[in-house]
């Protein structure tokens, strides 16, 4: 199991465990993380699974592709250097302990 810590804007911490091979978006929705709406169901089309993995974890997450970058730019949440779409991050055992900051609820 991959351990993931989600941190909301107001400091609420949600600890989750998910199977390797699932996406970070699936982990968030399985654990009822309200800030990850995932309206398109993981199709990299809506930007509602925008999140901010902590900088120290970025080297363990594959780089984003052009589609993800375009979707992020068209979304509602603030784009930061650590911005990613949770639907595009496939969890691996190496990512256990991942800490992800969440955007404000829209």
DSSP state of 106: -
Whether the pTM exceeds 0.75: the reply is yes
Give all strands of the β-sheet with 84-85 in edge-to-edge order.
13-18, 2-7, 98-101, 50-53, 84-85
Residue-level length of the chain: 106
Q: State which CATH number among 3.40.718.10, 3.10.20.30, 3.20.20.80, 3.90.1300.10 fits the domain covering 2-101.
A: 3.10.20.30
pLDDT tens-place string over residues 6-62: 999 999 999 999 999 999 999 999 999 999 999 999 999 999 999 999 999 999 999
Q: Determine contact, residues 79/72, Cβ cutoff 8 Å.
A: yes
Could you give phi then psi for residue 105, rounded to 5 degrees?
-65, 140
């Amino acid at each position: 199991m991959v351990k993931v810590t989600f941190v909301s804007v107001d400091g609420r911490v949600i600890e989750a465990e998910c199977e390797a091979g699932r996406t970070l978006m699936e982990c968030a929705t399985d654990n009822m993380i309200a800030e990850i709406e995932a309206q398109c169901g993981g199709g990299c089309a809506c930007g509602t699974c925008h999140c901010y993995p902590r900088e120290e974890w970025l080297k363990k997450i594959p780089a984003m592709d052009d589609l993800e970058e375009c979707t992020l730019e068209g979304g509602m949440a603030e784009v930061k250097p650590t911005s990613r779409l949770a639907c595009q991050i496939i969890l691996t055992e190496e990512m256990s302990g991942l800490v992800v900051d969440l955007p404000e609820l829209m």
